[in-house]
Structure 1
Amino acid sequence: MNLTLVFREAREYRLKEIALSVKTDRFQLKHTLNNIEHLQTKDWLHDDEGNGIRRGLHHHETTAVTVLPKPPKLRIAVVDLRSQYYVGERCTLTIRVTNDEAESVTGSIRQIHDESGDTALSIRWEAEDRECTGADLYPLQELHPDDSALLTLSIQAPLDAGTHAIALDADYTLAGVPFTALKRTLTLEIVFATLFEAKFTLSPALHEDPWPSYFTSSSASESPEGVPHLWRVGSKLRSLADCSILFESVKAIVDHVGEDASCQIMDLDRLDQVTLIPQGVFERAFQLLTRKGSLDNRSLTAVELSLELTWRRQDNVKVSTALVPIPRMTLPTSEPRVLCVHAESRDTGADVVLQYHLENPSSHFLTFAITFEANDDFAFSGPKHRALSLAPLSRHRIDYHLLVHGALDAVKGPGGPGRWIYPGLRVVDSYYQKTLQVQAAGNGVKLDAQKGLAVWVPASTEKR
């Protein structure tokens, strides 16, 4: 006779004693084995039609058995998991919970993630019930066999790229066995990638307002504000996304500015909604106005900025925000410089009018030797050689009228076809024998790495 014993609780069971009790009308018999040496055996007898068949037990310890938990049949799956997400993105995951058990189940599901460090995720459940929204634990209503429930998990991506693990633990019980808990776990590896490859440029710009002076101070005991300096910060972003994205807004924000200094950001133009395809390039520029709190402060100005981009996927209505840090900028405030702008020509005999602004924001008298070099591409009107002395905290403008010779092969440029010419102005500090580099400070002028300052001449303005 074979006896079968079923263990329902998941644990380790050890045999300590076997007792056989027989009770009849004539007698009662009880036989007990509690000697561990007698209980251990390597074989067991199997009754096969009255014949005892000995079979070996393939266990090292035959008086112990480990009962494993019942395999859970509740399924957890993510419906819309993407291959990667991006830093700063607001992500939404749809979780489907399916009951493959033979009975109805009830329980709860919990999301677990690493909350340590600066790159921790911000995760919450979204539900119509406000008590469930934002909690780590989400209750599962009764699910009948083969039924499913859809849950929404909202994730605010970190600002740094990396891979994060999110565990979804479902604890539930069967309707027929309410005191036996079952557990199903799903672990997700979510990749948060960098959205853009960013490059930034910094160049000076001309601030046309009059400079402050000690002689115009409102109070004799107080120093006036420092000299205003205008800068142009250009950004070039290349999309690293695997889908098209839409820019809603792009703006620069000030993270930090040095002591006794102010910083103001001005947009150069208005931004409409822009669509950027994978590997597409987007360029945006803005102006930066810095000023020291006092004319007596001649130290460098340290500025830290970030580019704040509001964007969304083309197939998603949820808007995300990305912060792209701009490398720290150390801006000089007391060094002399030469700025060139392309002015509007009111002289019908000139194709181009160039204005060179020589600035001396230092506290010393400076003398410059100025030479304008001849060029085969144009004739010019203006001083060819001259010496210029600048008092402290002063600047001076020199105009040159250019008449372009002939019409060379036109190329595509800003505003239509035209060509670049390369006027050469050499400015040397007579005392320090230092040559100042002419900086492009407006539209229609740029710096060429090999030829120096370049000026754009539209094809429609070339006279001869």
Structure 2
Amino acid sequence: MSIEFSVRASYHLASDPGTRILQKESFTVKIVSPFEANYELVPRLHLDPWPSLFDPDTIQDLPDEEEASTKPALGLAQKWCLMCHYASFATEELLVVELDAQITSNSPGIRCVSKGKQALPGDGLEIQPRGMKIAEFDIMVQKLSLDDRSSARVEVAFMIKWKRPNSSLPAKEASEVDGLVNLDITIENPSSHFLTFGLTMEPSDEFAFSGSKKTTVHVLPVSRRTTTYRLLPLVRGAFIRPGLAVRDKYFQKVLRIIPTEGMKADKEGLLVWIPDDEDETDEV
């Protein structure tokens, strides 16, 4: 049996709460039963006395279906033993915590009860891979009428509740990614006009980044705004080239980025220096 489920995550970066990021992934999990069982139904002697033909209380018509649940069972009582041989096909040790046999359905006109719930240790019954155990349950069957000689059908479900010896998942310690570099882009507006700029960061094989791929920045007159990208470079001791572009929304013109410490520019754009592991500088 297979179960398919989907995981959907919607989140945003603390540095850009206005941009929602949506990720969706589907998984298929195969459900495999760790146990297999075979069964044997053998007769046993029921100790209750049989009804007497000379007792007038046992002479009556067959009950209707509506009255079957209220009238006492007057037929012959039979006792059967359901022997369950179950084996573990798991690859590790398991603990069986409960064994039970439940009557799922039976023919009309009979009463059927399962008894003999297995007593197990408080911490569970250990079963090794390829190990086999035996469980026995008493099945009590009795017709509602002594004159009913028809065959009867009973369906029984063998229930096994189990767990692993260590069912708790190990807690993972919080971890952080080493070697992150913060790239701050500051846009200054010394004019007396309200300006709007578009920032675009293209993906690269040289690094991974955290931040908006495309965003709009509004800058008030005589003010400046700073946008931060977090870079995870795949190289050390070398320059990387972020695909960063700043465009004036009104004039539709790509602006030139002026490099500061730890950066330089050429004809193709901006270059950012990634220090060695020994260097402590993580902001440019």
Task: Compute the TM-score of the two structures, normalised by the length of structure 2.
Answer: 0.50
Higher relative contact order (CA 8 A, sep 6+): 2
Task: Compute the TM-score of the two structures, normalised by the length of structure 1.
Answer: 0.31
- State the structure with more CA Rg: 1
